[in-house]
């Protein structure tokens, strides 16, 4: 009766719903992944730090879209930190002047912008002018002038590391940017560059493609059709896409990469994490006692089990640091002598205890130490909550320090609060990055030069631990002024010795530069056996990879 | 109508309070956006650039009252400023590019949950003691008890990865161009299934229970007995008499919920990489992007207030008792 | 429940029809309260819920005994599947999952219940005062309540949690601030309908102090609604805390179910297939939330006899409606 009719109605509705669902399932046919590969497939790269994309290809903006500075715009040369080589790019040659007060670049001829106009030395001059005006830097640069196909850079002080900064500056077209009224606020959604993939196509908030530059100066190296960037809100979804084989090249942090990623298709998949990023340190605020005591800094360093830190917290992706504090990007600069005589970066709990006892930090009956004035030897380690791997590092360090009677408490608010504490010098200690540049000059300058020391309360953007040595200043000045390679090596060795003796901070491990690849659809990726570039999609070296890759064509 | 005026007055005051809170909140937070960017770059940004960028972003240093007045001014001109974390894209463009997806996901999930939940609730109440009434509510509540992200990740794993029935991310297949063609709409629908269904599954239990309990009380009223005594058909009584009165609280809740749809579904967007305003807000907050934060907050507050106002008006039409009080 | 929608509390609480008083108030406050508890224990659903909660509370209290030591100690064991030595396996950082789950219950239950009690206390205060004093005070408090209701909960949670110092105190504070308004609205409507009753008018006339009337006359008759609000807010507290911690906005140094899930995700337990690191904490939250929902069910049924499971009448009329 009434019920039965109602029941029938419900059943019919349900059936319709199911049928509708099935119909919709049939409707969409789009599938990702491999199928027939005809060579026009796009190189798919995920980005986990930009949940959605906005059409901003302004190379001067810190938030420009991925590949702006890698595939759209190019520099004069490309420096590869994994093997220390420099590849001429928009410039074919360069020569530093004898007195170290300048450098002259010879530009490659017949390079065109993606709109067909030729690239000239005027563009280079304009690029540096605009860069200086918008973002500053290059304080040593006095003048940039065009001289036919050459560009002459003159300095106001001798600064040999300037070569790399100048060489890796991206070049922009003057005929476009000179007409822009407000270059800082320009979104540049249809960019014109010299790079291999400049044509922005099908821009959506969740993805966009970059297709071939029709006027590229190396057309034989544009073997892949283009790049497809995918947006993700965090590591997890990006990792899911990568482990599922839907991306070709990725460089976000993947935990347990061997089992989670490589093992699923070990024939095609691989990873390589060369430790060429900035050295990661435990920075101790030397304006606070007892961190001004070098014995304390070395003792703390000796108590840390760097093996555990790198194998558990960093999942074996990197290795412990040594007494030079240099990351693997500086392999050619590393002083063998300093490394051989190194004694404070290997685990030595007994030694640490002995050092602290001798230096006057007595251990009480309960095992905890006190400072000479009687207060407990306890401090905070600050690290931003968003970096879970560094958080684990801090936790392990805290466990290690308990063994020598030092109480270290991990304090992990959001990064902005942590960095605020670093900058004004109110922090105790923290897990901090350091400067990273083609030569170790900026690293040591940021670690122990008095020029970078700012008083507590004044906002600093490097040398948070506020440590400076006049001896280091002299050596750094010598290095900057010298144009002679052999002299630079000698000076750098001395700098490393000064560093090893004074332990301005506690180096932990060199930062790994992440990168995984999948050769199902593209081949030619760099690897440990073929280190022509690191596997990062975000560094200048990415263009080396883009111009080497070849698509797989399956029958 | 006095009632309408009173509600309007209330909403204006609520709007003022929310806007002021919107204004104050970011300025109370410690740190500044550029240092935040510096920490994220982990050494790739040089210290010299930081100083320059502070000027570039034009961070406001005027006295706070002036900033407040300027803020109100910009509200009325619709100028929400330029986002810091997505410099130099304007805030309105950032929000506009994703608000469509947010509304699509949120309202689809909400509508399905409300319709299914209320229908189930009505049916469960009508057939007390039946399968629907005794088995389904506990099951639905149990499923809804799991933390949402846990369920979402599980669903993604089972239905997306293992079974491969549904796409794993995004609003439509990467590389497709949005259009109104049936293929594209079908593609969007397929991508919508997992995110929307997980939201539905978690929330339908609540709607069902609420409706069921309200219905039960309603069906015990005298006028229902009278209707039965008069010989009206069961269907008619259930839908046209009992359910109509029982939906009143549901309407209020629906109104609230539809306003919040604009706020996005943060956890859904994270797990399914679905473009949306929710995650946008989280990343704006962590990047200390004040203009974007304020813009999104404003959008949410505006939408919620408007939705509530509309619901209030609808409620007045539905329930004569309110007019009388 | 889901951290996506803080108005879940409103929906749950609305299940008790605030517009109508569900049951006639029994005489005297004390007799009413005892009656409620005893009848709860007799109700099957509530009893099941109470048993489950009791088990978890016991586990939480006994965690230091059952799993001594620091459960978050990082070792080089690596992730191991469940075995006799580690019943729930180990995490990628070599921590025992069973120990983490047991210790996690302490923080999660603590935060959940404290948030529930605090938010409900505020809701009672605001709701009762608003209903009893009426007019200007009612308008003012209603405005405050509605503003808090209309503030988008999750973004506010995110902002507050991101910038206040890390710690359980912050989480509790943040969740209380965003969680009290729903209950206040419900309690206010309920208090309003009770206020209109004769015995309240009688109490006013006989000169009882306002405070006494509010807390000794009106409140006891709202016991079931208060209970429902409390349970709903506890569920909200536990779920929202887990959501916040999963996003990395909680205190990662505290062992709780939410941070267990956060670490499981960040240490790659999911994509490596180490499901045992991810399942127990999520299931624990589900069981506790479900148990509280069962108790809620029970309170509903006790206070509104019409909601009790109906038995089909043998002499059927055309429709089956519980009376």
Average pLDDT, integer, range A384-408:
90
Q: For residue C31, is pLDDT > 60?
A: no
Burial of A389 (C-beta count, 10 Å sphere; 0-12/13-18/19+)? middle
Measured CA distances, A339 to A326, A334, A344, A447, A497 (Å): 11, 8, 11, 18, 9
Sign of CA dihedral A181, A185, A189, A195: positive
Chain C contact set for B10 (CB, 8 A): 143, 146
Q: Render pLDDT for B123-150 as a digit per residue (tens, 0 to 9).
A: 888 777 777 777 888 888 888 888 888 8
- pLDDT, averaged across chain C: 78
In chain B, residues 67-126 whose CB comes closer than 8 Å to chain C: 126
The Cα of B63 is separated from the nearest Cα of chain C by a number of Å equal to 23
Measured in whole angstroms, the distance separating CA C32 from the mean position of its chain's CA atoms is: 23
**Interval A456-469: pLDDT, tens:** 988 888 899 999 99
Range of A223-227, B23-27, B94-98 with top mean pLDDT: A223-227
DSSP designation for B130: S
**What number of other Cβ atoms are within 10 A of residue A394's Cβ?**
26
More confident residue, A543 or B9: A543
Neighbours of A478 (CB within 10 A): 17
pLDDT for residue A4? 43
C311 pLDDT band (50/70/90 cuts)? Answer: very low
Question: Are A47 and A232 a contacting pair, CB within 8 Å?
Answer: yes
Q: What is the pLDDT of residues C190-213, one digit of tens each?
A: 888 787 778 888 888 888 888 888
In the block, residue with structure tokens 């297709």: A211
pLDDT at B19 over 50: yes
pLDDT value, residue C66: 87
Residue A499: pLDDT over 50: yes
Contacts with B, C 93-152, CB within 8 Å? 143, 146-147, 149-152
Closest CA to C301 of C120, C52, C116, C42: C42
Residue of B nearest to A137 (CA): B48
pLDDT at residue B110 greater than cutoff 90: yes
For residues C6-27, average pLDDT: 38
Integer Cα distance of A314 and B290 in angstroms? 33
Question: Does pLDDT of A394 surpass 50?
Answer: yes
Which one of A235, A312, A514 would you mutate to disrupt binding with C, by most C Cβ within 10 Å of its Cβ?
Answer: A312
Closest to C72 in 3D by CA, of C99, C45, C35, C47: C99
One DSSP character per residue, B163-177 reads: S--S--SSSS-TTPP
Residue C309, pLDDT score:
58
Distances (CA, A) of A234 to A46, A254, B279, C241: 10, 11, 10, 20
Q: Is it the case that residue B51 has pLDDT exceeding 80?
A: no
Chain A positions in Cβ-Cβ contact with residue B97 (cut-off 8 Å) = 52, 54, 205
- Residue B240 C-alpha, separation from nearest chain A C-alpha, in angstroms: 15
Asked if B174 and A207 come within 8 Å (Cβ–Cβ), the reply is: yes
Closest approach of chain B CAs to the CA of C292, in angstroms? 10
- Confidence (pLDDT) at A119: 93
Question: Which of the 8 DSSP states describes residue A69?
Answer: I
Is any Cβ of chain C less than 8 angstroms from the Cβ of B207? Answer: yes
Phi-psi region of B267 (alpha: psi -120 to 50; beta: other; left: phi over 0): alpha
Residue-wise pLDDT for A243-301, tens only, equals: 888 899 999 888 888 888 998 899 999 999 999 989 999 999 999 988 999 999 999 99
Q: Taking Cα atoms as reference points, which of B247, B243, B212 lies closest to residue B141? A: B212
Which pLDDT does position A118 carry in this prediction?
A: 93
Range with the lowest mean pLDDT among B95-99, C111-115, C132-136? C132-136
Residue C5 has pLDDT above 70, yes or no: no
Q: Which two tokens stand for residue C206?
A: 């006989």
- pLDDT at residue C20, as a whole number: 38
pLDDT per residue over A464-495, tens digit each? Answer: 999 999 999 999 998 988 878 888 999 999 99
A375-379, A398-402, C99-103, C203-207: lowest mean pLDDT where? C203-207
pLDDT for C76 equals 79
Q: How far apart are CA A526 and CA A273, in angstroms?
A: 11
Chain C residues with beta carbon closer than 8 angstroms to that of B312:
none
* B contacts of C258 (beta carbons < 8 Å): 147
Mean pLDDT for the stretch of residues A174-186: 90
* pLDDT of amino acid A10: 44
Contact C56, C105 (CB under 8 A): yes
Helix (H, G, I), strand (E, B) or coil at C238: helix
Angle between helix B91-126 and B182-219 (nearest 10): 40
Q: Do C266 and A388 touch (CB under 8 A)?
A: yes
Residue with tokens 């007055």: B9
By the 10 Å C-beta count (0-12 exposed, 13-18 middle, 19+ buried), B141 is classed as: buried
Q: What is the pLDDT of residue B59?
A: 62
pLDDT tier at A236, thresholds 50, 70, 90 = confident
Q: What is the pTM of this model?
A: 0.80
Residue A78 above 90 pLDDT? yes
Query: Of the candidates A234, A233, A232, which has an alpha carbon nearest to the alpha carbon of residue A247?
Result: A232
Q: How confident is the model at residue B25 (pLDDT cuts 50, 70, 90)?
A: confident
- Tell me which residue of A339, A346, A278 sits closest to A499, measured CA to CA: A339
What average pLDDT does range A195-213 have in this prediction? Answer: 91
Residue C292 has pLDDT above 80, yes or no: yes
Contacts of B126 in chain C (CB under 8 A): 319-321
C181 CA: distance to closest CA in chain B (Å): 13
Instruction: Look up tokens 């003022």; give the residue.
Output: B16
pLDDT of residue B292: 86
Mean pLDDT of chain B: 81
- Averaged pLDDT, A408-428: 86
Q: Cα(first)–Cα(last) distance of chain A, in Å?
A: 64
- Which pLDDT belongs to residue B237? 85
Task: From A21, A12, C15, C186, select the one nearest B112 (Cα to Cα).
Answer: A21
User: A442 pLDDT exceeds 80?
Assistant: yes
Name which residue leads in pLDDT, A68 or C171.
A68
Between residues A450 and C185, which one has the greater pLDDT?
A450
Backbone dihedral region of C207: left (phi > 0), alpha (psi from -120 to 50 degrees) or beta?
Answer: left
Looking at residue C35, its pLDDT comes to 65
Q: What is the residue-wise DSSP string for A391-402? A: HHHHHHHHHHHH
Q: Which range, of A54-58, A524-528, C217-221, averages the lowest pLDDT?
A: C217-221
In chain A, the percentage of residues whose pLDDT exceeds 90 is: 55
CB contact (8 A) between residue B285 and residue C310: no
Of B14, B257, B268, the CB nearest to C150: B14
Mean pLDDT of B195-202: 91
Euclidean distance between CA atoms A435 and A443, whole angstroms: 5
Burial class (CB in 10 A: 0-12, 13-18, 19+), B258: buried
User: Considering only CB atoms, which chain C residues are within 8 Å of A390?
Assistant: none
- Our CA-based measurement puts residue C301 at a distance from the nearest CA of chain A, in whole angstroms, of 27
Contacts of C286 (CB under 8 A, 6+ apart): B142, B145, B146, B147, B150
Q: Do C289 and B145 touch (CB under 8 A)?
A: yes
Confidence of residue B316 (pLDDT cuts 50, 70, 90): confident
CB–CB contact C321 B126 (8 Å): yes
Q: Is the dihedral of CA C115, C117, C118, C119 positive or negative?
A: positive
Kindly state whether C248 is in contact with chain A, defined as any CB-CB distance less than 8 angstroms.
yes
What is the DSSP track for A379-443? EEEE--TT-HHHHHHHHHHHHHHHTTT-EEEEE---HHHHHHHHHHT--SEEEE-----SSTHHH
Least confident of A33-47, A180-194, A202-216, B110-124: A33-47
pLDDT exceeds cutoff 80 at A410: yes
Give the lowest-confidence range in A220-224, A526-530, C167-171: C167-171
Nearest to A236 among C163, C252, C265 (CB): C265
* Touching chains, A (3+ CB pairs < 8 A): B, C
- pLDDT grade for A111, boundaries at 50, 70 and 90: very high
pLDDT over 90 at B245, yes or no? no
Least confident of A526-540, C6-20, C207-221: C6-20
Measured in angstroms, the CA of A385 and the nearest CA of chain C are apart by 7
DSSP at C96 = B
- What pLDDT digit, counting tens, does each position of C142-184 carry? 888 877 877 666 667 767 766 677 778 888 888 898 889 888 8
Token representation of residue C300: 């509903």
Model confidence over C36-71: pLDDT tens digits?
Answer: 677 777 788 888 899 999 999 999 999 898 888 888
Say yes or no to pLDDT of C15 above 70: no
Stronger pLDDT, A427 or B281, i.e. the higher one: A427
According to DSSP, the residues that pair with A106 across neighbouring strands are A93, A150
Residue A555, preceding bond cis, omega within 30 degrees?
no
| C261-266 contact pairs (CB < 8 A, 24+) | C261/B147, C261/B149, C261/B150, C262/A388, C263/A388, C263/C91, C263/C93, C264/C91, C265/A236, C266/A235, C266/A255, C266/A388, C266/A389
- Asked if residue A220 has pLDDT above 70, the reply is yes
pLDDT-derived band at B280, boundaries 50, 70, 90: confident
Q: What is the pLDDT of residue A72?
A: 94
Beta strand A429-432 pairing with A77-80: unpaired
| Residue of chain C whose Cα is closest to the Cα of A260 | C272
In this predicted structure, the answer to whether residue B192 has a pLDDT above a threshold of 70 is: yes
Q: What is the reported pLDDT for C26?
A: 43
Q: Å from B187 to nearest chain C CA?
A: 25
For the record, the structure tokens of A21 come out as 């669902």
Per the DSSP assignment, residues forming a β-bridge with A105 are A94, A151
pLDDT above 90 for B80? no
Residue C6 pLDDT class (50, 70, 90 cuts): very low
The per-residue pLDDT for A353 is 92
**Cα gap A135→B89, rounded to integer Å:** 18
The pLDDT of residue B294 is: 81
Mean pLDDT of A66-75: 93
Q: How confident is the model at residue B297 (pLDDT cuts 50, 70, 90)?
A: confident
Residue A15 has pLDDT above 50, yes or no: no
Chain B residue nearest residue C237, CA to CA: B147
Q: Which of residues 216-245 of C touch B (CB under 8 A)?
A: 235, 239, 242-243
């Amino acid at each position: 009766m009434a019920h039965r009719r109602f029941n029938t109605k419900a059943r019919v509705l349900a059936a319709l719903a199911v049928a509708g669902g099935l119909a919709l399932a049939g409707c969409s046919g789009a599938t990702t992944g491999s199928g027939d590969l005809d060579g026009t497939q796009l190189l798919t790269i995920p980005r986990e730090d930009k949940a959605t994309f906005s059409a901003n290809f302004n190379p001067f903006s810190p938030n420009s879209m991925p590949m702006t500075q890698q595939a759209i715009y190019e520099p004069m040369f490309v420096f590869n930190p994994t093997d220390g080589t420099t590849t001429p790019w928009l410039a074919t040659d360069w020569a530093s002047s004898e007195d170290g007060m300048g450098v002259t670049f010879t530009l490659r001829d017949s390079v065109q912008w993606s709109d067909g106009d030729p690239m000239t030395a005027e563009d280079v001059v304009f690029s540096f002018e605009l860069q200086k005006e918008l973002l500053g830097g290059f304080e040593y640069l006095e003048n940039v002038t065009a001289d036919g196909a050459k560009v002459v850079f003159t300095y106001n002080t001798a600064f040999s590391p300037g070569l790399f900064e100048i060489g890796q500056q991206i070049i922009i077209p003057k005929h476009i940017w000179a007409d822009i009224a407000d270059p800082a606020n320009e979104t540049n959604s249809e960019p014109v560059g010299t790079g291999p993939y400049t044509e922005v196509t099908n821009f959506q908030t969740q993805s966009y493609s970059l297709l071939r530059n029709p006027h590229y100066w190396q057309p034989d190296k544009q073997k892949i059709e283009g790049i497809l960037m995918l947006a993700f809100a965090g590591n997890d979804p990006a990792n899911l896409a990568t482990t599922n084989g839907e991306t070709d090249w990725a460089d976000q942090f993947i935990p347990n990469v061997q089992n989670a990623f490589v093992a699923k298709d070990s024939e095609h998949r691989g990873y390589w994490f060369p430790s060429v990023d900035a050295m990661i340190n435990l920075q101790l605020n030397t304006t606070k006692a007892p961190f001004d005591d070098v014995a304390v800094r070395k003792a703390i360093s000796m108590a840390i089990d760097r093996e555990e830190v790198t194998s558990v917290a960093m999942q074996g992706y990197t290795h412990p640091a040594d007494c030079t504090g240099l990351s693997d990007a500086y392999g050619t600069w590393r002083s063998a002598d300093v490394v051989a005589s190194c004694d404070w970066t290997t685990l030595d709990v007994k030694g640490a205890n002995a050092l602290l006892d001798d230096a006057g930090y007595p251990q009480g009956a309960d095992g905890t130490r006190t400072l000479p004035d009687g207060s407990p030897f306890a401090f905070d380690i600050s690290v931003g909550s968003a970096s879970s791997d560094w958080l684990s590092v801090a936790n392990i360090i805290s466990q290690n320090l308990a063994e020598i009677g030092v109480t270290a408490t991990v304090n992990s608010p959001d990064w902005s609060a942590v960095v605020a504490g670093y900058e004004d010098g109110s922090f105790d200690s923290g897990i901090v990055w350091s400067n990273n540049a083609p030569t170790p000059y900026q690293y040591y300058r940021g670690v122990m030069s008095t020029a970078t020391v700012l008083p507590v309360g004044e906002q600093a953007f490097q040398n948070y631990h506020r440590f400076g040595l006049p001896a280091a200043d002299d050596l750094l000045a010598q290095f900057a002024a010298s144009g002679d390679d052999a002299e630079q090596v000698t000076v750098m060795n001395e700098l490393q010795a000064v560093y090893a003796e004074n332990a301005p901070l506690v180096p932990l491990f060199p930062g790994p530069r992440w990168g995984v690849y999948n050769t199902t659809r593209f081949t030619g990726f760099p690897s440990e056996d073929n280190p022509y570039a690191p596997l990062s999609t975000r560094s200048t070296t990415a263009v080396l990879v883009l111009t080497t890759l070849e698509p797989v064509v399956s029958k | 109508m006095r009632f309408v005026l009173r509600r309007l007055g209330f909403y204006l005051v609520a709007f003022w309070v929310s806007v002021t809170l919107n204004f104050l909140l970011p300025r109370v937070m410690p740190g500044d956006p550029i240092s935040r960017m510096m920490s994220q770059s982990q050494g790739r940004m040089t210290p010299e650039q930081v100083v320059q960028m502070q000027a570039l972003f034009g961070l406001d240093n005027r006295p706070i009252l002036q900033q407040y007045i300027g803020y109100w001014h910009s509200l009325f001109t619709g100028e929400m400023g330029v986002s810091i974390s997505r410099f130099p894209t304007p805030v309105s463009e950032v929000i506009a590019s994703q608000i469509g997806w947010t509304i699509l996901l949120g309202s689809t999930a909400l509508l399905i949950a409300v319709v299914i939940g209320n229908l189930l609730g009505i049916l469960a109440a009508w057939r007390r003691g039946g399968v629907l009434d005794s088995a389904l509510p506990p099951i639905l509540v149990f499923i809804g008890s799991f933390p949402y992200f846990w369920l979402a990740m599980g669903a993604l794993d089972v239905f997306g990865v293992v079974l491969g029935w549904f796409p794993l991310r995004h609003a439509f297949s990467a590389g497709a161009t949005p259009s109104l063609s049936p293929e594209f709409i079908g593609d969007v629908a397929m991508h919508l299934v997992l995110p929307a269904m997980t939201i539905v599954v978690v929330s339908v239990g609540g709607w069902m229970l609420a409706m069921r309990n309200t219905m039960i009380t309603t069906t015990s009223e005298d006028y229902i007995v009278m209707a039965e005594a008069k010989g009206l058909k069961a269907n008619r009584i259930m839908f046209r008499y009992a359910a109509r009165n029982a939906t009143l609280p549901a309407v209020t809740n629906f109104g609230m919920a539809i306003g919040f749809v604009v706020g996005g579904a943060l956890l859904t967007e994270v797990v399914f990489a679905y473009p949306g305003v929710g995650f946008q807000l989280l990343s704006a907050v962590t990047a200390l992007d004040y203009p974007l934060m304020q813009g999104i907050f404003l959008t949410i507050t505006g939408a919620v207030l408007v939705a509530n106002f509309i619901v209030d008006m609808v409620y007045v039409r539905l329930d004569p008792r309110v007019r009388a009080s | 429940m889901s951290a996506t929608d803080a108005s879940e509390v409103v929906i749950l609480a609305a299940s008790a029809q605030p517009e109508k008083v569900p049951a006639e108030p029994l005489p005297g406050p004390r007799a009413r309260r005892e009656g409620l508890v005893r009848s709860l224990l007799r109700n099957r659903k509530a009893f099941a819920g109470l048993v489950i909660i009791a088990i978890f509370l016991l586990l939480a209290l006994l965690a230091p005994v059952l799993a001594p030591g620091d459960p978050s100690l990082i070792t080089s064991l690596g992730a191991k599947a469940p075995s006799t030595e580690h019943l729930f396996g180990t995490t990628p950082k070599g921590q025992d999952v069973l120990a983490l789950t047991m210790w996690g219950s302490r923080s999660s239950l603590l935060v959940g219940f404290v948030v529930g009690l605090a938010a409900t206390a505020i809701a009672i205060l605001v709701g009762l005062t608003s209903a009893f004093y009426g007019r200007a005070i009612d308008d003012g408090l209603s405005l405050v309540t509605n503003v808090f209701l209309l503030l988008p909960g999750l973004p506010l949670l995110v902002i507050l949690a991101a910038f206040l110092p890390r710690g359980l105190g912050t989480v509790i504070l943040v969740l209380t601030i965003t969680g009290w308004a729903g209950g206040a609205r419900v309690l206010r409507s309920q208090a309003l309908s009770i206020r209109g009753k004769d015995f309240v008018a009688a109490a006013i006339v006989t000169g009882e102090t306002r405070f006494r009337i509010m807390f000794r006359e009106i409140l006891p008759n709202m016991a079931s609604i208060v209970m429902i609000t409390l349970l709903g807010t506890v569920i909200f507290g536990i779920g929202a805390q887990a959501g916040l911690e999963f996003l990395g906005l909680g205190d990662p140094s505290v062992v709780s179910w939410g941070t267990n899930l956060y670490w499981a995700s960040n240490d790659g337990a999911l994509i490596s297939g180490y499901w045992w690191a991810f399942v127990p904490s999520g299931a624990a939250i589900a069981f506790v939330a479900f148990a509280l929902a069962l108790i809620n069910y029970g309170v509903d049924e006790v206070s509104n006899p019409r909601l009790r499971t109906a038995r089909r009448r043998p002499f059927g009329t055309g429709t089956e409606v519980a009376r």
